[in-house]
A and B are shown apart, each in its own frame.
Chain A
Amino acid sequence: MRTVYFTDGTAEGFFSAVFDAYGDKGAFLTSSDAFQAALDDSFVRVPPSPEKAARVVKKLEALDRGCLWEIDCILRTPEADREQAAFLYIRLLTEHKGPVRGMLSRPEVRRARELAERVGQERHRLTGFLRFRETADGVFYAPCTPDNDVVELLMPHFAARFKTFPFVIHDLKRKLAGLCDGRNWTVVPAPEAELVLSENEDEFEALWKKYYRTVNIPSRRNIRQMKGYMPVRYWKFLPEKQDDSP
C-alpha cells in the first residue's frame, strides 16, 4: 500500500514532506492533482513547515553540497513526478551517506540528472535567447514562456551585466516577473504588462534583423541544424525570427 504525500508545490513544502515521509517505504510525493491514484492509496496533505524543511536542507548540505542545486532544478520542471524524482534521489543519497550523481546505473540517479540538466539547459539557452526591448521610461523588458520555472535562475546572470538601467524578465506562462533596479532583484507575481516602447526600439530591431539576414551564408543553408540548436518554441520573442515561418 502506498501513501501519497501532497505538498503545496513550494520547495519548503517539498522538504517538509521529505521530513514526514522519509521513514515510509511506500511514500509517494507529489504536488500535482493530475497524478494517477490507485484504489488502495491513502492520502496525507503536508503543510509547509519551515523548521522541518530547514532540518532536511541542513542534513543534505552536510551530505552533498551540490545536491541542493540539482533538487532546486528538479522542482522547477513541470513534470508530474518531480517531487517523487527528487525524493528518491535524496533517499539514495542519504542511504549512501554521500554524493551519488555518478551512479548512473541507478534509475533514480538518471531521472534526477535528466530533469536537473533539462532545467540547466533551458536556463543556459535563455541567457542567449531572451530579448529585451526598451520602454519609453528606460526599463528593458524581456517576455518569455519557458518550459521550466527559470526566471529566478536567470536574474543573477542579467543583474551582473545590467547595472545602469532597470530590467524585467516576465514569464507570461507562470505570470511572474523578475524585477531588477540595477542593484537588487526580486521575483513577483505579474499577470500582464503594458508596453510603451522607446523611440529607439524600432531602429535597433530593424538593424538587428538586417544583421541576422546578412550574416547568413545562403549556399550553406542548414535549417535542420539551426532548429536543432534553436528550437522553434523559442522563436516567439526573437525579432529576427518574426518574418520566418517555422
Chain B
Amino acid sequence: MASADSNPMSQGTTISQTDEEPIIICRDMNKWFGEFHVLRDINVSVAPQEVVVIIGPSGSGKSTLIRCINRLEEHQEGQILVDGMELGHDVRNIAAIRREIGMVFQQFNLFPHLTAMQNITLAPIRVRHRPRAEVEDDAMQLLERVGIPEQAHKYPGQLSGGQQQRVAIARALAMEPKIMLFDEPTSALDPEMIKEVLDVMKELALSGMTMLVVTHEMGFAREVADRVLFMDEGRIVEQGEPEHFFERAQHPRTKLFLSQIL
C-alpha cells in the first residue's frame, strides 16, 4: 500500500478542507429516483487520506451518495470530481475513476463461483493486465494483511461472514485504489465477527487510505474518523470532528438520531 508514514494526517487531524487539494469534490449535487428527490444539494469534499464516516437514519441516502461517487448511480445535477476527473457521461473517465476507487458492500458481493484468490486476482489481471504470478503474490500479501492467508483457495460459501468481508476488502485493495468506499460493511455480520472487520478497516485508515464509510459503529467513528457526516432525507445536515460531533451536535435531528442509537 501507499506508504503510511509519509503523511502525518492519517489520524488526529482536524476537519478536511485544509490547504490540500481535495480528492473527492461534490458540488451542488442532486439526484432523483424518478420523481423522488434522494440527494439534495450535496456539497462535500474529502481530502486525501481523510477518513469520513457517514451516519444517518435508514433511507436517508447514504448508500446512494457513495454509490454516486463511483458511478454505480448517476447524479442528475451538480458536479462530482474524483482526483481531478469529472464524473459525467464520458465512459473513459468512469473507467479511470473506478480504477481509483474500491468499494466494499454490506452483502460482501463476493463472486461465489470463484475462490478467494480468484476473487482478488480477477480485476488486476483483467483490468490492469498485470501478470498472473505477480498478482497472485500480491493477493497472498493482501490476504495476510486481512488475516486469512489460509483461506486463499476456499470458495466464499465455505467462509464465515467476517472472512468473506475481509476477502472483499482485499479484493478492492488489489486494484490499488486511492479511495475506499464502505457501505455498512459490518451490518450483515454476526456480532462476534464485526471486530475482525473493523480491525482491518482501522489498520487501513492508519495506513493513510482515503475512506468514506457508511456505518452504525459509533465506536469506530469516534476512534478512526477524521470527520463525521450526518445525513437525513437526502441532505447533509451536520458534520464535524467526532469528539465535537458526538458531544456537541447542534441540529435537533442529529441530536434525536444520536440519542436513539447511543
Is the A/B pair a real complex? no
| Residues of chain B whose beta carbon lies under 8 Å from any beta carbon of chain A | none
| Residues of chain A whose beta carbon lies under 8 Å from any beta carbon of chain B | none
